[in-house]
Amino acid sequence: MPNPKKAGLPPGTLVHVGERKIEKVKITIIDYGEAQFQEKEAKTVEECFPFKDEPTITWINIDGIHEVDIIEKIGNHFNIHPLLLEDICHTEQRPKMEDFEDYIFVVLKMLYYDEKENGVNAEQVSLILGSNFVISFQESEGDVFNPVRERIRSGKGRIRRMGSDYLAYALIDAIVDNYFITLEKIGEKIEDMEEELVTNPTPATLQTIHNLKRDMIFLRKSVWPLREVVSGLERGESALVHESTRIYLRDVYDHTIQVIDSIESFRDMVSGMLDVYLSSVSNKMNEVMKVLTIIATIFIPLTFVAGVYGMNFQYMPELAWRWSYPLILLLMVGIGISMVIYFRGKKWL
Amino acid sequence: MPNPKKAGLPPGTLVHVGERKIEKVKITIIDYGEAQFQEKEAKTVEECFPFKDEPTITWINIDGIHEVDIIEKIGNHFNIHPLLLEDICHTEQRPKMEDFEDYIFVVLKMLYYDEKENGVNAEQVSLILGSNFVISFQESEGDVFNPVRERIRSGKGRIRRMGSDYLAYALIDAIVDNYFITLEKIGEKIEDMEEELVTNPTPATLQTIHNLKRDMIFLRKSVWPLREVVSGLERGESALVHESTRIYLRDVYDHTIQVIDSIESFRDMVSGMLDVYLSSVSNKMNEVMKVLTIIATIFIPLTFVAGVYGMNFQYMPELAWRWSYPLILLLMVGIGISMVIYFRGKKWL
Amino acid sequence: MPNPKKAGLPPGTLVHVGERKIEKVKITIIDYGEAQFQEKEAKTVEECFPFKDEPTITWINIDGIHEVDIIEKIGNHFNIHPLLLEDICHTEQRPKMEDFEDYIFVVLKMLYYDEKENGVNAEQVSLILGSNFVISFQESEGDVFNPVRERIRSGKGRIRRMGSDYLAYALIDAIVDNYFITLEKIGEKIEDMEEELVTNPTPATLQTIHNLKRDMIFLRKSVWPLREVVSGLERGESALVHESTRIYLRDVYDHTIQVIDSIESFRDMVSGMLDVYLSSVSNKMNEVMKVLTIIATIFIPLTFVAGVYGMNFQYMPELAWRWSYPLILLLMVGIGISMVIYFRGKKWL
Amino acid sequence: MPNPKKAGLPPGTLVHVGERKIEKVKITIIDYGEAQFQEKEAKTVEECFPFKDEPTITWINIDGIHEVDIIEKIGNHFNIHPLLLEDICHTEQRPKMEDFEDYIFVVLKMLYYDEKENGVNAEQVSLILGSNFVISFQESEGDVFNPVRERIRSGKGRIRRMGSDYLAYALIDAIVDNYFITLEKIGEKIEDMEEELVTNPTPATLQTIHNLKRDMIFLRKSVWPLREVVSGLERGESALVHESTRIYLRDVYDHTIQVIDSIESFRDMVSGMLDVYLSSVSNKMNEVMKVLTIIATIFIPLTFVAGVYGMNFQYMPELAWRWSYPLILLLMVGIGISMVIYFRGKKWL
Amino acid sequence: MPNPKKAGLPPGTLVHVGERKIEKVKITIIDYGEAQFQEKEAKTVEECFPFKDEPTITWINIDGIHEVDIIEKIGNHFNIHPLLLEDICHTEQRPKMEDFEDYIFVVLKMLYYDEKENGVNAEQVSLILGSNFVISFQESEGDVFNPVRERIRSGKGRIRRMGSDYLAYALIDAIVDNYFITLEKIGEKIEDMEEELVTNPTPATLQTIHNLKRDMIFLRKSVWPLREVVSGLERGESALVHESTRIYLRDVYDHTIQVIDSIESFRDMVSGMLDVYLSSVSNKMNEVMKVLTIIATIFIPLTFVAGVYGMNFQYMPELAWRWSYPLILLLMVGIGISMVIYFRGKKWL
């Protein structure tokens, strides 16, 4: 939900908007070229500054965005527009890509399936792609970028031979790959629900369907704009993205479309589940009504007959007859049986 | 709703259409440059006129639009097209932006969440952006522009160093920021409703959902066109909007998209709530039916049995047997218990 | 609904399709320039012909389109394409604009709210805009153009100083302004319905909602294409529409969008009303069921108890006890009260 | 529904796919110019061939497409691409237009309202428009083209003075005009249904609504692509379509849009009917429930009271009182009346 | 559903994602020109390599994609981009077409209707079209390409005279033709369901409708992107696709649109079926309620009357009257008959 905390402040004022998810801001620097590699954790933000002018590729990763002065210092040193710094600190951004000639700014959403809360959570990731550096901002320390780190460390694959644009691609790719994990979790949950729907639907099922629907609305809002972001990078005019990287971005774009397709399919499925739920509630009610109707329509007439012969009139000749009691009992059995046959004919039994 | 009061009048006739929300029209003038600053309340509309030709930036704010001759005088002096003056007075405009080379005309909706009426209200704000002035028209005195005034007075931020286009941006930004406050209120209300839905849905809940839906329709109508307005300003050809301001407008554009996204999500949620409400009404009915069915199906057969032995036939040998009464009582208990077991099997108990 | 009366005839055959709404065709001619003004009712169609070549602006208004030879004569004299004459006579046109260099052809729908039939009615208006004349065709004599006539007569406003394009604009504007009146009527009816929905929904309410829905479908069909018509005039290449008139057309365009917005909002509201109606029917049913269940579940067990002691077994020792009758009565009261408490707990009472 | 009969065959293999609707293929040739006219029925397909090179306009109409060798011979002589011949024989084409410089190929659907089956049927019509000939293929002998034939024979209208493109236009126009007849039938049926809905809805009504819905899906599928077909002809680059014919095609285009509009309106209406049907079923159920509830809640308590005094306790002092019986009867009447008053208050009676 | 198995791996890593559908990979080579023809099964992947440089057209078909080193070797020899190889192995691709100047890469879905699982299954087919070769990858050995093989072997039709683009077209055409078979199966199932709906709807019917809906979602996801794929091939700039082949691709495009149309129609039908199902459940419930109400409202009052005369008051003069019993019986019959007449009036009987 949008946050009005900042309404009224001049644009470019840095205020952290969002939950504080980490205690202390952690800055890690990975600097590499085809031949060299260096990794360190920076104690002060100033340690990052010298890397700006080195020819090697530098990846500065900042976990925690609640200390706005750190963001501000980096912004000043790397000449980042104040509005972007504001966006970085404000965790309710819509995914977007902005091209400022000297650098490209990308905001993405990282998605987690939170088993405890049984729902999808998001975390904002901002990337600044310069000609020889990438700065990434995360809300908390995550393990989603670890495979990328590992690839840089080991020198496996293309990553050490390519530029900063490939690094940015690798990070975006890691995030999009992570979506598949979240989607798989949701897919499993939907399958569970579908079984539950058939075997034992309860009002709690409805609540879960409703929650799934909200998750879908949330996912959709987080992922749809990504399409434009990635295609903006791929088809953009920016000199920062090399031709050789574009084909990789096209691959990410395909994945994004796949994610969107899956979300849309899930939405359709969840809508269908609601229909099935409502129908099965109707069916159950129908069944309840049938039982009531069968019992009532068999016994109400019988009770009436019994009532008639319970009347205390003095002149009721049948009462004195020898065989009237067994005959009445037979009559009752007859009424009962014919009712049952009638219900069979109606397919209610 | 559209207002037919004006049907038949020649175009360009000034008639105030809408509720009169303020007693007396109030005109305030803020004139500033990088070094100077002047603020005054104008007693007559003519006091505004000299500022037209001064090189400093002038912001003329008019609270109250029901005195059409004031609008007309300003229009004449600042060469505003009569149709625009008409639009200013007619409070049922759709947000729009029109570029007349010498000036740009913008109509927006300011949104308030009215706690008393439990719904969203709107007020129309019109802006005229000239090369060295901005004229803003509000329906009533509002506090939404106060932070902008404050920034001009204190000289904080960029505002004193930038042109009239930046002032127009700041005003639009203030309005859009205000949307977030309104949305947050609605968001809270939706959350309240969702809890109420689960714990205790009543017909009043339905009414509230219906009202929320209407609010959403209203919000949508007020905010969707804003997207085009802001993107029109940002991407427009007008020389009145400088390159340096466009990036700020892009920021407002992002916010507008965020607002629209939130409205769409809210719409989806409110639709979902209706489904849940209907289902929970169905569920309640189901529960009621079950109780009825259980009671009726247990006791109707038993009552029948009692009725049988209440018959007054002379030859009912069982009546004379010593143990038939306790045996019948046992039989009844047996029927009751087997019914309960049957219902357990059906998961109705 | 489309009318198949003409299927099979060669194109360009003039056949009046539609209801005959007026007895006799009435032709009025208004001829004006900045200085002169002349108004007369023509007895024969030939009286209109001389005005074709005069430099003054001529407005020929024809009320009634069922006498096809009048249409044909005008068409021949003013060189109108036969297909257009066909369109004029065929009252089931979709609003459209066609540019034939020498003249522009416009078909519109005039909307009336028919209080008697409680629904929206439409009448077709065709306009032919030439360089110095406008010919308008109406199905019946209407008062919607009266304000325009008045303005020409009095010479108020711009109309006498502008060309035939401005006259055409004024006529279109008069029609669109009239939509607002119709929409207001519908808006009032929707508000009435919404109150009725809450206070006393009946099956008749459903019928009215259904009729409103049909009206909306009809309105939509009549107004949507108007958007293209007006924007076609405004943005078109035609030399017949002067630059100075385009801004007025833009104004009409804005009004059209507003009308469409209102229709869409009304549609949404009417859809919402159906949901509310259905829910309130469900709610009522629920209430009925509750009353039944409460009565039945309280008295069915009690009746059973009474039935037990109505049995005629010889050995029922309780029957002979001194206090068993009052004790049984107490027991029954106890059962009844505990049932009531149970229902209170379930919030059914 | 698509037909898989051909899956696996090489493209261009002629196989008739569809129902065989006519016994023998019938070939008629109409050859005309401004002055001459000739009409004959061809016994063999070869009789058509000489007309290919004559300067007069020739219309070859083939009723029946199941004898593929006839199609093939014509195709070879007139140089038609094999894929088109395949399309002509395959009656499940989507309406389309293809421009092969030398000729234009058009596939359309002719629609009939089948009174017997109470539904819409379609027949495929293919047209090949060459510079001096039109070849039309129909599935069976129809009377839809008769008015065109009549116009050619009589020489009325423009048709004899215009080229083959005008003939193609006239045929398409005849088909589209025929749609209006079908739509009118459906419109009547919808109106009938709406009355039935209000007066006496039965499960059969539901079935009819469902069938109408299917008809609408079918109509939509048949008519939507027509829009592109006609606009393709009108706006296309082909030298085969002359400027003077384009205005007639624009007229057909307008009619097509009108047809589509009507179909969309009908769809909306049919959807609305389903809602009304469901509501009226709910309403009826509600009414049934009310009757049951009223009867049950009045008599169940009364029966209980009667049961109490039917108990056989020895010590029930009331039983011996002189006035207790009439008093109890009065009490029962009192309970009954107060129940009725209560229901009146609830507006159930 | 997307598969997260690969998340974290560097791009271009070959991992088989999907079910293993075949034991051993099978490679078949068909090499042909207008005059020659050669077909063989390759034992090692290296046998394919020499064909790369021969002027004849070579079709290499690989059944089974789980042995990634085979894919890799082919990729290296034919200079295929590693990302494409990854796509080939990853069976959850969205249909797409990518043009890499030297070759075109196409991914498609082959659809099967699985009678056992009563649902639609898909298999991924990838094609690489080079200037003189086509490489096709299937998940398992299928018979869908057999007709194409047959045509090449027999030299019937155009295929031996045309290039590799025509071969690729023929393969795509075979796949799209196969869709019609699947659609026909689904169409039959829908028709079966519609009959079942009318004659005997059960909760299992609901489940089947739900499954059909899921199949439709799945089909839609598989076929929609195909539209772009085929139109991309047809309208693309690639020199690999000759002008003469484009007309065939346009034919496939038409078929694709037809498939999409059918899927959309099926979707609409299935949605309609759900409505009908729900209504018929409602109708059944209504019928059950009516029976209950009729029985209950007839007998409850009668039982009450019997109860009254079962009371044990000492002073009930009627009890002693001679004719009161038969009169009471008559009264009861009267009440019963008037009830029946009342229900007839309500059309419940």
CB within 8 A of E275, min separation 6: which ones?
D210, D274
Residue of A157, A179, A348 lying closest to E10 (CB–CB) = A157
Binned at pLDDT 50, 70 and 90, residue C257 comes out as very high
DSSP string, D1-54: ---GGGTTSPTT----BS----SS-EEEEEEE-SS-EEEEEESSGGGGGGGGGS
Write out the DSSP string of B203-229.
HHHHHHHHHHHHHHHHHHHHHHHHHHH
Could you tell me the two tokens for B198?
């689960």
Q: What is the mean pLDDT of chain A?
A: 88
Q: Predicted confidence band at C2 (pLDDT cuts at 50, 70, 90)?
A: very low
Instruction: State residue E2's pLDDT score.
Output: 42
> Is residue A239 classed as helix, strand or coil in its secondary structure?
coil
Give the 3-state DSSP-derived string for chain E, with helices as H, strands as E and coil as C: CCCHHHCCCCCCCCCCECCCCCCCCEEEEEEECCCCEEEEEECCHHHHHHHHHCCCEEEEEEECCCCHHHHHHHHHHCCCCHHHHHHHHECCCCCEEEEECCEEEEEEEEEEEECCCCEEEEEEEEEEECCCEEEEEECCCCCCCHHHHHHHHHCCCCHHHCCHHHHHHHHHHHHHHHHHHHHHHHHHHHHHHHHHHHHCCCHHHHHHHHHHHHHHHHHHHHHHHHHHHHHHHHHCCCCCCCHHHHHHHHHHHHHHHHHHHHHHHHHHHHHHHHHHHHHHHHHHHHHHHHHHHHHHHHHHHHHHHHHHCCCCCCCCHHHHCCCHHHHHHHHHHHHHHHHHHHHHHCCCC
- Please choose, from the candidates E24, E14, E137, E37, the residue with its C-alpha nearest in 3D space to the C-alpha of residue E85: E14
Mean pLDDT of all residues in chain D?
88
E310 with D306: Cβ contact below 8 A: yes
Residues in chain C: 349
Give the Cβ contact number of residue A294 at 10 Å.
Answer: 21
* pLDDT of A2 over the 50 cut: no
The rounded distance, in Å, linking the Cα atoms of E321 and E339 is 28
Cα–Cα distance for residue pair B48/B25, rounded to 1 Å: 14
Amino acid at residue number B164: S
Interface test with chain D among E313, E339, E343, by most D beta carbons within 10 Å: E313
The two beta strands, A133-138 and A57-63, are: parallel
From B254, B179, E251, D70, select the one nearest A107 (Cα to Cα).
B254
What mean pLDDT is predicted for residues E191-209? 82
Alpha-carbon distances of A184 from A164, A188, E92, rounded to whole Å: 31, 6, 13
Contact A170, A246 (CB under 8 A): no
What pLDDT, in 10s, does the model give residues B190-227? 988 888 887 777 778 888 888 888 889 899 988 999 99
- C247 contacts B83? CB cut-off 8 A: yes
- CB-CB contact of C177 with B8 (8 Å): yes
B330 with C332: CB under 8 angstroms? no
pLDDT score recorded for residue D2: 42
For residue C286, what pLDDT is reported?
Answer: 79
Give E143's pLDDT tier (boundaries 50, 70, 90).
Answer: confident
Q: Which among D262, D310, D347 has CB closest to C2?
A: D262
E178: its two tokens: 């196969």
Distance from CA of A236 to the nearest CA of E (A): 18
Contact criterion met (CB < 8 Å) for B198 and A207: yes
Is A48:A61 a contact under the CB 8 Å cutoff? no
Instruction: Sort E129 into a burial class: Cβ within 10 Å, 0-12 / 13-18 / 19+.
Output: buried
Torsion over CA: D124, D130, D134, D140 (sign):
negative
Q: Are D196 and D205 in contact (CB under 8 A)?
A: yes
Q: Which amino acid is at A190?
A: I
Q: Are strands A119-129 and B26-32 parallel, antiparallel or unpaired?
A: unpaired
Q: What is the pLDDT of residue D37?
A: 92
Whether the per-residue pLDDT at B106 is higher than 90: the answer is: yes
Neighbours of chain B (3+ CB pairs under 8 A): A, C
| Per-residue pLDDT band at C4 (split at 50, 70, 90) | low
Expressed in angstroms, the distance from the first to the final Cα of chain B is 53
Give the torsion sign (CA, C291, C296, C301, C303): positive
Per the model's pLDDT, the better-predicted residue between D279 and E38 turns out to be E38
Mean pLDDT of chain E: 88
Does the pLDDT value for residue E5 go beyond 70?
no
Residue D136, beta-bridge partner list: D61, D127
Helix H or strand E encompassing B335: helix B324-345
Q: Which of D94, D207, D274 faces E258 most closely, judged by CB atoms?
A: D94
Residue to test with chain A: of B111, B267, B293, most A Cβ within 10 A: B293
**CB-based contacts of D153: which residues, under 8 Å, 6+ apart?**
D37, D39
Give the N- to C-terminal CA distance of chain E in Å, as an integer: 53
The shortest C-alpha distance from E216 to chain D (Å) reads 15
Please state, in angstroms and rounded to a whole number, the distance separating the CA atoms of residues A216 and B345.
36
Q: Which of E49, E35, E28 shows the shortest CA–CA distance to E145? A: E28
Residue A251's closest chain E neighbor by CA? E83
Judge whether C324 and D313 are in contact, CB under 8 Å: yes
Query: What dihedral angle (degrees, nearest 10) is formed by the CA atoms of B72, B77, B83, B86?
Result: -20
Closest CB to C10 among D151, D293, D310: D151
- Indicate the pLDDT class of residue D127, thresholds 50, 70 and 90: very high
Give the Cα separation of E96 and A283 in Å (integer): 43
Nearest by CB to B203, which of C174, C179, C283?
C283
Measure in Å the smallest separation between the Cα of A154 and chain B Cα atoms. Answer: 40
DSSP state of A310: T
Q: C110 vs B17, C31, C95, CA distance in Å?
A: 24, 24, 10
Q: Å from A157 to nearest chain B CA?
A: 37
Look at residue E98 and tell me whether its pLDDT is greater than 60: yes
Distance, in Å, from the CA atom of A289 to the CA atom of B286, rounded to the nearest integer, reads 10
Does the pTM of the predicted model rise above 0.90?
A: no
HEC-encoded secondary structure of C121-135: EEEEEEEEECCCEEE
Give chain B's radius of gyration (CA, Å): 34
| Closest-CA distance of chain A to residue E319, Å | 4
Binned at pLDDT 50, 70 and 90, residue E328 comes out as very high
Q: How far apart (Å, rounded) are the C-alpha atoms in residues D194 and A7?
A: 54
Average pLDDT for A145-164: 89
CA torsion sign for E133, E138, E141, E146 is negative
Q: Render pLDDT for E46-66 as a digit per residue (tens, 0 to 9).
A: 888 888 888 899 999 999 888
Helix axes of E324-345 and E243-308: crossing angle, nearest 10 degrees: 160
Given this model, what pLDDT does residue D4 score? 52
What is the side-by-side strand order in the sheet with A37-42?
A: A37-42, A26-32, A57-63, A133-138, A119-129, A103-114, A96-100
* Share of residues in chain E with pLDDT > 90 (%): 45
Three-class SS state of B36: coil
Read out DSSP for D235-292?
Answer: H---TTS-HHHHHHHHHHHHHHHHHHHHHHHHHHHHHHHHHHHHHHHHHHHHHHHHHH
Q: What angle is formed at CA E96 by the lines to CA A148 and CA E11, rounded to 5 degrees?
A: 15
Paired with E126 in beta bridges are E107, E137
